Amino acid sequence: MRDKLSQYIEDHLRHPNPVLDELDRAYRDDDDREAGPPHIGKQVGAFLFWIIRLIEAREVLEFGTAVGYSTIYLAQALQETGGRLTAIEKDEGLFQRTAQNVRRAGLSGTVELIHGDAGEVLDRLPGPYDLILQDAAKALYPAMLPRCIDRIRPGGVLAADDALFRPMGVREELAGVIDEYNRLVFAHPQLTSTILPIGDGLTISVKR
């Protein structure tokens, strides 16, 4: 049933940039071994695009770009709000592919792409940010939470991808830290949180 519901929703969604169509097709092609790691998907991308425009975000921070699918979604929305994206990717190969895809999408002027470890780079970033997307190494989710909260403005949004790894049956090495992160944000006095069953799950927290 969920597959039917998901397909119905996706049939109504359109990518806001043609490069996203290319990246999505490459990822869905089982024979394409160069497509890169999983990306946030059309539903999560569309939701984040909508949120950025809704809150008129001007400063957005992204941890973990993969090949730039999420980066392009965020940057495309920020181009409409007159904002800017800071995106951090640790893997050299993924960093280069993200840079190339961002250029092809015509969004280089909206994105500052940083090659480095998100946990280390975050300490050099002053903020405040209107929205932070956490999609880096899963072990970093709980570890980086206090610093992320410090760098989000009141009313700002903290989004964490892959929130439903545990009920999806993903191996405990990954699911455990995601579950810990979810417990932390739901219990945190500065956050109001929910989990959206889109993609592999998206935890959304708003700073009070």
Distance CA 157, CA 52 (A): 9
CB contact at 8 A, 162 and 138: yes
Residue 125 per-residue DSSP state: -
pLDDT attached to residue 34 = 63
Report, in angstroms and rounded to the nearest whole number, the Rg of the chain calculated over CA atoms.
16
Q: Is the dihedral of CA 122, 191, 68, 92 positive or negative?
A: positive
* Of 134, 182, 195, 153, the residue nearest 55 (C-alpha): 153
What does each of the 208 residues of the chain score in pLDDT, given as a tens digit? 668 888 999 999 999 999 999 998 888 775 555 666 778 999 999 999 999 999 999 999 999 999 999 999 999 999 999 999 999 999 999 999 999 999 999 999 999 999 999 999 999 998 899 999 999 999 999 999 999 999 999 999 999 999 999 999 999 999 999 999 999 999 999 999 999 999 999 999 999 9
Given a contact cutoff of 8 angstroms between Cβ atoms, the answer to whether 65 and 42 are in contact is: no
In sequence order, the 6+-apart residues with CB closer than 8 A to the CB of 194 are 203, 204
Rounded CA separation 47/149 (Å): 21
Return the CATH superfamily for domain 2-207: Vaccinia Virus protein VP39 (3.40.50.150)
Tokens of 104: 């092809």
Instruction: Identify the DSSP state of 80.
Output: H
Rounded to an integer, what distance in angstroms lies between the CA atom of residue 151 and that of residue 160?
Answer: 15
Provide the pLDDT for residue 135: 95
**The amino acid at 88:** I
Domain residue ranges in the chain: 2-207
The span from the CA of 35 to the CA of 50, in Å, is 26
Strand pairing report for 111-115 and 191-196: unpaired
